[in-house]
Amino acid sequence: MITRKRLAAGVCGLLAALAVGLLPTPAAADAPDTKSSPKVELVLDVSGSMRSRDIDGQSRMAAAKQAFNEVLDAVPEEVQLGIRTLGADYPGQDRKLGCKDTRQLYPVGPLNRTEAKAAVATLNPTGWTPIGPALLGAADDLKDGDSTRRIVLITDGEDTCAPLDPCQIARDIAAKGIHLVIDTLGLLPDAKTRNQLSCIAEATGGTYTSVQHSDQLRKRVHQLVDRAAKPVVTPVATEGAQQCSSAPKLTAGLYSDRERFAEHRWYRVDVPPGQELRASVSIAADRAVNNDYGVLLRASTPQGREIVRGSEAGDGRTDVISSGLRYPTAPADKASGDTQPARTVCLQVSNSFSAPASVKTDPGLPVELSIDLVDGPDNAADTAFFGLGHGWWLLGALALAGLLAGLLWGWISRWRVAIWRTN
């Protein structure tokens, strides 16, 4: 099930790309090798509540086992798959021990279907629901390599090991920049479970699905495992600086970072003569924030002179806010024969987010920065003045259209009044 937040995030990202006229983003610099085997770990809740017999006349545990067996038969050959459990071993009431009850049932690697099915067959509903510790364990299981990595969490209840908040753990995993996605599935979830699983998924760019029937569980897990086998463009983790002189130098690609509330971060891009820089930024509110916020993407010279900027404001209706800009450089003078160096452009990303005192501000908010370099127009100066960067041409056209519309409406109104009076 696609949540309203994820739908809003997707719409905002699309509008940002259209607003700056971006072409399809090329593969990011140093992107993961698509030949590397994708990795998936299925994390299964085996707590005592999984005994409930309310999924198509069978227990939740039986439905999960059946789904696992069918999914294991269909796992693509290139996928390395593992299985981790939570609440499978400790049946007692000692909370400290119950919250440590997570283990890797089958190691992540080339799949032996017979061995994996045999391991799943031994499971019986037993103990607690330590979702947070299980996520930490799964992240450690998948830490090596640079391939696509996903955790698929299947549970029928919320975490029972507070104050270790699994949503905060998911944010911490995302903040590491290892691009590990967590998808969550709730078996007949109540409102608290649904909210917690949605938060975990959204923190890492994953999906949340509510499951009511065994065939839904099987199909969804199968879809998520297949999705891991399909290569996608993965953002490259970077870290912006507090000033341009020490900022990381970026090339065309997709990048991710984390920015604190109300922080400024700098990046550098070298733009060759005759090329046009197209940049966009999206900042996601992955936790509760105050209404009224904004994002600024500003391009300037290394000396501090502003070239062009893009900004956008939000009022709490969406969880992602985006902005973009374009900046063309003048083409090289071929007649002179001199080789002209690339022009260094400093990109500043700023936000005006704030949060209630009860909300943790660390780690910072997730930032996604897209950089593209394309052939620029013949007359870069005209484009810089009249293009989407400064917006003067668009502003003038809108003002003229508004003036004409006002005059026309006024003339129509006077004409209607005159006719009414004569009648």
Determine contact, residues 261/287, Cβ cutoff 8 Å. no
Amino acid found at 338: D
The SS3 assignment for 349 reads: strand
pLDDT classification of 175: cutoffs 50, 70, 90: confident
- CATH classification code of 236-391: 2.60.120.380
Mean pLDDT of the 5-31 span: 41
Third-level CATH fold of 32-228: Rossmann fold (3.40.50)
Determine contact, residues 71/181, Cβ cutoff 8 Å. no
pLDDT classification of 389: cutoffs 50, 70, 90: very low
Beta bridge partners of 76: none
The pLDDT tens digits for 86-116 are: 999 999 999 999 999 999 999 999 999 999 9
The pLDDT tens digits for 50-97 are: 999 999 999 999 999 999 999 999 999 999 999 999 999 999 999 999
Positive or negative, the Cα torsion across 65, 66, 67, 68? positive
Nearest Cα to Cα of residue 262 among 227, 289, 235: 289
Contacts of 78 by beta carbon, 8 Å cutoff, 6+ apart: 37, 38, 229
Distance CA 303, CA 202 (A): 39
Beta bridge partners of 256: 237, 368
Three-state SS letters, 260-315: CCCCEEEEEEEECCCEEEEEEEEEECCCCCCCCEEEEEEEECCCCCEEEEEEEEEC
The SS3 assignment for 209 reads: strand
Which phi and psi (to 5°) does residue 197 adopt? -70, -35
Which phi and psi (to 5°) does residue 134 adopt? -65, -40
Residue 328's H or E segment, with its range, is strand 320-328
pLDDT classification of 251: cutoffs 50, 70, 90: very high
Beta bridge partners of 283: 321, 367
Cα torsion through 276, 309, 293, 14, rounded to 10: -20
The pLDDT tens digits for 312-348 are: 998 877 678 899 999 998 887 666 666 778 999 999 9
Determine contact, residues 311/267, Cβ cutoff 8 Å. no
Determine contact, residues 236/251, Cβ cutoff 8 Å. no
The pLDDT tens digits for 141-167 are: 998 777 889 999 999 999 999 888 999
Distance CA 195, CA 213 (A): 20
The Cα diameter of the chain in Å comes to: 94
Positive or negative, the Cα torsion across 8, 259, 293, 195? positive
The pLDDT tens digits for 200-239 are: 998 888 889 999 999 999 999 999 999 888 766 678 889 9
Beta bridge partners of 45: 86
Q: How far is CA 396 from the centre of its chain?
A: 36
Determine contact, residues 308/295, Cβ cutoff 8 Å. no
What pLDDT, on a 0 to 100 scale, did the predictor assign at position 397?
75
Domain chopping of the chain, boundaries: 32-228, 236-391
Determine contact, residues 277/345, Cβ cutoff 8 Å. yes
The pLDDT tens digits for 268-323 are: 999 999 899 999 999 988 888 898 999 999 999 999 999 999 999 988 776 788 99
Structure tokens at 162: 């507070």
